[in-house]
Protein backbone atom coordinates (compact mmCIF):
# COMPACT_ATOMS: atom_id res chain seq x y z
CA UNK A 1 0.00 0.00 0.00
CA UNK A 2 0.92 3.63 -0.06
CA UNK A 3 3.38 4.86 2.52
CA UNK A 4 5.09 8.19 3.07
CA UNK A 5 8.03 8.62 5.40
CA UNK A 6 9.74 11.65 6.82
CA UNK A 7 12.40 12.31 9.40
CA UNK A 8 10.83 13.46 12.64
CA UNK A 9 12.93 16.44 13.61
CA UNK A 10 15.19 19.09 12.15
CA UNK A 11 16.96 21.93 13.92
CA UNK A 12 18.63 24.79 12.05
CA UNK A 13 20.03 28.19 12.86
CA UNK A 14 18.17 31.30 11.74
CA UNK A 15 19.39 32.40 8.32
CA UNK A 16 20.56 28.93 7.29
CA UNK A 17 18.79 26.74 4.75
CA UNK A 18 16.54 23.91 5.87
CA UNK A 19 16.08 20.74 3.88
CA UNK A 20 13.22 18.43 4.78
CA UNK A 21 13.19 15.05 3.10
CA UNK A 22 10.38 12.67 2.28
CA UNK A 23 10.12 9.29 0.59
CA UNK A 24 7.00 7.71 -0.83
CA UNK A 25 6.09 4.36 -2.27
CA UNK A 26 3.26 4.90 -4.74
CA UNK A 27 4.84 5.35 -8.15
CA UNK A 28 1.47 6.33 -9.60
CA UNK A 29 1.23 9.48 -7.48
CA UNK A 30 0.36 12.41 -9.68
CA UNK A 31 0.92 15.28 -7.29
CA UNK A 32 3.08 15.66 -4.22
CA UNK A 33 2.41 18.33 -1.64
CA UNK A 34 4.08 20.15 1.20
CA UNK A 35 1.96 21.49 4.04
CA UNK A 36 2.89 23.51 7.11
CA UNK A 37 1.10 23.11 10.44
CA UNK A 38 1.58 25.44 13.35
CA UNK A 39 0.51 24.38 16.87
CA UNK A 40 -3.24 23.99 17.18
CA UNK A 41 -3.89 25.08 13.62
CA UNK A 42 -4.95 23.51 10.36
CA UNK A 43 -2.69 22.77 7.43
CA UNK A 44 -1.37 25.52 5.21
CA UNK A 45 -0.58 24.52 1.64
CA UNK A 46 2.97 25.60 0.90
CA UNK A 47 3.54 24.18 -2.54
CA UNK A 48 2.96 21.16 -4.70
CA UNK A 49 4.70 19.54 -7.63
CA UNK A 50 3.39 17.52 -10.51
CA UNK A 51 5.04 14.14 -10.86
CA UNK A 52 6.52 14.89 -14.29
CA UNK A 53 8.51 17.80 -12.90
CA UNK A 54 11.79 17.50 -11.07
CA UNK A 55 12.01 20.94 -9.54
CA UNK A 56 9.76 23.79 -8.55
CA UNK A 57 10.80 27.06 -6.97
CA UNK A 58 8.53 29.52 -5.22
CA UNK A 59 10.27 32.40 -3.45
CA UNK A 60 12.20 30.86 -0.53
CA UNK A 61 10.88 27.38 -1.22
CA UNK A 62 12.47 24.87 -3.58
CA UNK A 63 10.97 21.44 -4.14
CA UNK A 64 13.06 18.69 -5.68
CA UNK A 65 11.52 15.47 -6.91
CA UNK A 66 13.48 12.35 -7.79
CA UNK A 67 10.82 10.12 -9.22
CA UNK A 68 13.18 7.22 -9.80
CA UNK A 69 14.07 7.08 -6.11
CA UNK A 70 10.61 8.30 -4.99
CA UNK A 71 12.28 11.04 -3.00
CA UNK A 72 10.89 14.50 -2.40
CA UNK A 73 12.58 17.38 -0.60
CA UNK A 74 11.64 20.85 0.51
CA UNK A 75 14.36 23.45 0.86
CA UNK A 76 13.63 26.63 2.77
CA UNK A 77 16.18 29.34 2.11
CA UNK A 78 17.08 31.90 4.77
CA UNK A 79 15.05 30.09 7.42
CA UNK A 80 13.32 32.36 9.92
CA UNK A 81 11.98 31.71 13.41
CA UNK A 82 8.48 32.01 11.96
CA UNK A 83 9.21 28.93 9.88
CA UNK A 84 9.25 26.79 13.02
CA UNK A 85 6.37 24.35 12.58
CA UNK A 86 5.59 20.82 11.51
CA UNK A 87 5.96 20.14 7.81
CA UNK A 88 4.01 17.35 6.17
CA UNK A 89 4.64 15.90 2.77
CA UNK A 90 1.75 14.11 1.11
CA UNK A 91 1.15 12.17 -2.05
CA UNK A 92 -2.06 12.29 -3.97
CA UNK A 93 -3.63 9.03 -5.01
CA UNK A 94 -5.69 8.52 -8.14
CA UNK A 95 -8.81 9.30 -6.10
CA UNK A 96 -7.27 12.55 -4.82
CA UNK A 97 -6.96 11.24 -1.30
CA UNK A 98 -3.81 12.46 0.39
CA UNK A 99 -1.47 10.08 2.13
CA UNK A 100 0.56 11.98 4.69
CA UNK A 101 3.96 11.44 6.15
CA UNK A 102 4.43 11.57 9.89
CA UNK A 103 5.53 15.21 9.74
CA UNK A 104 8.91 16.82 10.37
CA UNK A 105 9.16 19.22 13.26
CA UNK A 106 11.38 22.12 12.24
CA UNK A 107 12.95 24.15 15.01
CA UNK A 108 14.70 27.36 14.04
CA UNK A 109 17.21 28.58 16.62
CA UNK A 110 17.90 32.31 16.89
Partner 1 sequence: GAVVSQHPSRVICKSGTSVKIECRSLDFQATTMFWYRQFPKQSLMLMATSNEGSKATYEQGVEKDKFLINHASLTLSTLTVTSAHPEDSSFYICSARTGSVGNTIYFGEGSWLTVV
Which residues contact partner 1 by CB under 8 A? 30-31, 33, 35, 40-45, 48, 50, 88, 92, 95-103
Q: Which of 18, 44, 37 lies closest to 103 in space, CA to CA?
A: 37
Of 7 and 14, nearer to partner 1 (C-beta) is 7
Of 39 and 110, nearer to partner 1 (C-beta) is 39
> In the bound complex, what is the minimum distance in angstroms from residue 39's beta carbon to partner 1?
10
> In the bound complex, what is the minimum distance in angstroms from residue 51's beta carbon to partner 1?
12
Are 92 and 28 in contact, with CB atoms under 8 Å apart? no
> In the bound complex, what is the minimum distance in angstroms from residue 46's beta carbon to partner 1?
12
> In the bound complex, what is the minimum distance in angstroms from residue 45's beta carbon to partner 1?
6
Of 55 and 96, nearer to partner 1 (C-beta) is 96
Amino acid sequence: GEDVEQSLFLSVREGDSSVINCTYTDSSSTYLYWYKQEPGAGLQLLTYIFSNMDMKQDQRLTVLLNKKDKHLSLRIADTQTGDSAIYFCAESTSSYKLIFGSGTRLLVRP
